[in-house]
Amino acid sequence: MKSSDRPKFGNLQNLKVLNAGAVIAAPFVCELFAEQGADVIELESTVAPDMYRMYGDAWSVDRRNQRMITLNIPSPEGKEILLQMVKWADVLVESSKGGTWEKWGLTDEVLWEANPALVILHISGFGNWGDPDYVRKASFDPIGQAFSGYSNLNGFPDSPPSVTKPFTGDFMTGLMGAWATLAAVIRARETGEGESIDCCQFEALVRLQGATLSDGINHGIQPMRIGNEDLVGACAGAQKCKDGYCQVAVGGAGPVKKLVEFFGFADDPDFQPLGTYPSVTRKPGCKSLDEPLPDRAAKFRAALDSWCEKHTVEEVNRIFGQMGVAVSPHMTYEMMLNDPHYQAREVFVDCYDEITQKTVKQVNMIPRFKKHPGKIVRGGAKYDADTQDVLEEFGYSEKEIELLYEKGVLRKGE
């Protein structure tokens, strides 16, 4: 695909991006940009295809709208091609262990010599600076969750820490990197001065921990792993029903009052004044979930559990929903496909996948833009799909491109 073949759409149609990342976090940044019309070129390694290709249909989603070329970046010819492309680009996104690009001789300063307004996003597990032993460490999603303390908040008291699925750290790091990159692009277009962003996975997950983190670092409170239990509320959260589970989040004076009345506690002294929350008194960091609940919380919990177990998921969702109580079934993928709200919002769309040559379902683009919506032009492309087209745009002749294939700077697809 040539640049001229790309339709114009979205809010980022004048953004030019080089995707030198792999697997999830960095490419996710670029895919979000491509959905909004950015011209994104992925530079796929000649050593081996991107590992994320093994995930099949997910590749078609998480690389959609991007153009694919192969390139051996650290080779002399590869660096020359990269610097030519950097002159064209607004953004370069890369993912590697800290110090990798510096070792290749591709420091930020070298890249800025080619394009002073370039925004460079470095995504890594532990960052590009800090304790040298950590900077050089390899990382994947579960490593970031462990080092950030995130996994130590998940699981059950007597079980090991639990890594949340799927790829929470990778995708959250990508979201952090995406907003930071666009902030830097705005500034670069105002001043002509580029920026380098050090976005590391464990810090993105540290940032997500809110009040739990604040209590921990200020007051020494390390919360125990509590599984699905609510931190402060007198409910399990995941409520067992006759035919499945509903998630119930009890909060707000109005819904609490209605539930208290619904369960027959309107005249119970423990629930006065009506509308006050039937909270637990166990503090984060308590040793066991077996500690007894206070009378009010215990009564409420027993009534809620008993009622839910006698009703279906549909009944709990409908009846509690009518009261204004926050509730949702724990959805399966089949339920999601058949749900009227999913269907009305077109959360899933059918797209042609050029790799399998079949129509596959994909999650639609989110969030939605009213005036300049995104568009799915193509799914994730085949290995080496656009190398010839892209390098011709950068002035390389057919003979020069063939020679680069022979030298291993480029690599042909199957």
Q: Where are the alpha helices (DSSP H) in 220-356?
A: 253-262, 295-309, 313-323, 333-338, 340-344
Please tell me whether residue 361 adopts helix, strand or coil conformation.
strand
Q: What tokens appear for 338 in the block?
A: 């058949």
Q: CB under 8 Å to 332, separation ≥6 — which residues? A: none
C-alpha to C-alpha distance for 191 and 183, rounded to whole angstroms: 13
HSE at residue 326, side-chain half, CA atoms within 13 A, is 8
Residues designated as active site: 170
Instruction: Write the DSSP symbol of residue 4.
Output: G
Q: At what angle do helices 25-35 and 168-191 cross, to 10 degrees?
A: 60
Please tell me whether residue 52 adopts helix, strand or coil conformation.
helix
Q: What tokens appear for 295 in the block?
A: 């009378």
C-alpha to C-alpha distance for 414 and 283, rounded to whole angstroms: 59
Question: For residues 369, 374, 380 and 384, what is the CA-based torsion angle, rounded to 10 degrees?
Answer: -130
Instruction: Write the DSSP symbol of residue 16.
Output: E
Q: What tokens appear for 290 in the block?
A: 């077996």
Cis peptide before 273 (omega within 30 of 0): yes
C-alpha to C-alpha distance for 61 and 350, rounded to whole angstroms: 11
The DSSP secondary structure of 311-340, one letter per residue, reads S-HHHHHHHHHHHT-EEEE---HHHHHH-H
**Element at 128 (helix H, strand E):** none
Put residue 3 in one of left, alpha, beta given phi > 0 → left and psi -120 to 50 → alpha. Answer: alpha
Q: Is 323 exposed, middle or buried (0-12, 13-18, 19+ CB in 10 A)?
A: middle
Q: Are strands 39-44 and 16-20 parallel, antiparallel or unpaired?
A: parallel
CA 336 to chain centre: 19
